[in-house]
């Protein structure tokens, strides 16, 4: 969030069509949900103590939650596989990473063309992911299906022509998002759920997510989404 890199990325996305933005954020969200799925599995690990000053919301304090080890993940031995594993080591159970994702999404959503593409991709699921744990597992959202696309001819690294099937990320189901949001709205009212996060982390998450929801949904109810979706997420961040 520092320097010009984040703003440069926002500017690039602002020049994309709504459809392209949706495809880009579908990939980003898929990757983030995979990370959250791994984090849920690590919830049983012992966690360090919380920050001593609950009134200090300096984002550096969000780094105190970090698992001592990351569950072994079987990945293909490709550059993508290695890159994903390195990414997991840096962001799983690191609250600063979550906050930066929310901050960037909030910043990007202030551009209207980006915002609508983010909503089409299921960007509101970032709010749900902020509170995912072993008791709130984002059922129906962690494993997002793909659709087999058209087969195209491509050159292999040895110069031979091969058939490549392109997979298309399916958008997150609004029904699944609403169902998970309704579940979160219920469990957030339980003292045990709040105690899991601690007052400092819980309230900070609500604050950052509130800004994201405001940026994503805007004021025009007719522009995107159902009244149910809007009501659920507005209620979540107002608790």
Q: What is the pLDDT of residues 43-54, one digit of tens each?
A: 755 444 444 333
For the chain, the structural domain boundaries read 5-144+171-238
pLDDT at 96: 92
Q: What is the pLDDT of residues 17-50, one digit of tens each?
A: 999 999 999 999 999 999 998 888 877 554 444 4
The whole model's pTM is what? 0.78
Q: What is the pLDDT of residues 110-160, one digit of tens each?
A: 998 899 999 999 999 999 999 999 889 998 898 655 554 555 555 555 566
% of the chain beyond a pLDDT of 90: 48
> For 173-193, what is the mean pLDDT?
94
Encode the chain in three state secondary structure. Answer: CCCCHHHHHHHHHHCCCHHHHHHHHHHHHHHHHHHHHHHHHHHHCCCCCCCCCCCCCCHHHHHHCCCCCCCCCCCCCCHHHHHHHHHHHHHCCCHHHHHHHHHHHHHHHCCHHHHHHHHHHCCCHHHHHCCCECCECCCCCCCCCEEEEEEEEEECCCCCEEEEEEEEECCCCHHHHHHHHHHHHHHCCCHHHHHHHCHHHHHHHHHHHHHHHHHHHCCCCCCCCCHHHHHHHHHHHHC
């Amino acid at each position: 969030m520092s320097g010009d890199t984040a703003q440069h990325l926002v500017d690039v996305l602002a020049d994309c069509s709504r459809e392209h933005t949706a495809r880009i954020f579908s990939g980003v969200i898929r990757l983030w949900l995979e990370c959250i799925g791994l984090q849920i599995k690590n919830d049983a690990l012992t966690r360090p103590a919380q920050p001593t000053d609950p009134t200090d919301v300096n984002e550096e304090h969000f780094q105190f939650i970090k698992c001592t080890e990351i569950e072994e993940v079987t990945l293909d031995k490709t550059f993508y596989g290695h890159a994903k594993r390195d990414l997991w080591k840096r962001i799983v159970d690191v609250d600063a990473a979550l906050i930066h994702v929310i901050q960037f999404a909030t910043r990007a959503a202030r551009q209207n063309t980006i915002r609508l593409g983010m909503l089409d991709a299921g960007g509101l699921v970032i709010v749900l992911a902020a509170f995912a744990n072993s008791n709130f597992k984002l059922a129906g959202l962690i494993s997002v299906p793909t659709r087999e696309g058209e087969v195209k001819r491509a050159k292999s690294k040895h110069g031979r022509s091969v058939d490549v099937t392109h997979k298309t990320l399916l958008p997150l189901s609004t029904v699944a998002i609403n169902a998970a949001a309704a579940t979160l709205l219920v469990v957030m009212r339980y003292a045990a759920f709040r105690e899991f996060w601690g007052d400092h982390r819980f309230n900070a998450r609500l604050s950052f997510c509130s800004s994201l929801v405001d940026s994503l949904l805007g004021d025009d109810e007719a522009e995107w989404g159902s009244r149910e979706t809007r009501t659920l997420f507005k209620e979540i961040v107002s608790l």
